Structure 1
Amino acid sequence: MVFLTVLAGTILVLDQTTKLLVLWHLPLHGMRAIVPGFFNLVHVRNTGGAFSMFAGSGSALRLGLFIGLAVIVVCIIFYAYSKVSKTDHWTRAAYSAIAGGALGNLLDRVRLGEVIDFLDFHAGSYHWPAFNVADMAITTGAIMLLVSLVRGK
Structure 2
Amino acid sequence: MDQKQQGKSGQLKWLMLSVLVVALDLLSKAWVTDSFNYAERLYVLPVFDLTLLHNTGAAFSFLAGESGWQRWFFALIALAVSGGLVVWMTRLKPNETWLACALALVLGGALGNLHDRILLGYVVDFLLFHWDNAYFPAFNLADAAITLGAGMLIVDMIRNPDGAKTDSVKTQEKSE
Secondary structure (helix, strand or coil) at the match of 1:58 reads coil
The residue aligned with 1:21 is 31
* Structure 2 portions without partners, runs of 5+: 1-10, 164-176
Give CA deviations for 1:69-121 in whole Å, capped at 9, x if unaligned: 00001011011111221111100000000000000000001110000000000
Counterpart of 2:139, as a letter, is: F
Q: CA deviation at 1:26?
A: 0.6
The residue aligned with 1:87 is 95
* Structure 1 portions without partners, runs of 5+: none
Single out whichever of 42-51 and 122-131 deviates more from structure 2.
122-131
Structure of greater Rg: 2
Distance 2:49 2:13 in 1: 33
Distance 1:80 1:65 in 2: 23
The residue aligned with 2:58 is 49
Q: Is the 8 A contact 2:12 2:89 kept in 1?
A: no
Q: Quick one: which of 21, 26, 42 aligns to 1:11? A: 21
What TM-score results when the alignment is normalised by the length of structure 2?
0.83
Q: Is the 8 A contact 2:12 2:90 kept in 1?
A: no
Secondary structure (helix, strand or coil) at the match of 1:121 reads strand
Distance 2:137 2:150 in 1: 18
Distance 1:80 1:5 in 2: 12
Q: CA deviation at 1:3?
A: 2.2
Distance 1:89 1:118 in 2: 31
Distance 1:131 1:72 in 2: 22
Residue-pair matches, total: 151
Single out whichever of 77-86 and 112-121 deviates more from structure 2.
77-86
Q: CA deviation at 1:2?
A: 4.1
The residue aligned with 1:150 is 158
The residue aligned with 1:65 is 73
Q: Quick one: which of 108, 123, 140 aligns to 1:100? A: 108
C-alpha RMSD of matched pairs (Å): 1.0
Distance 2:80 2:30 in 1: 26
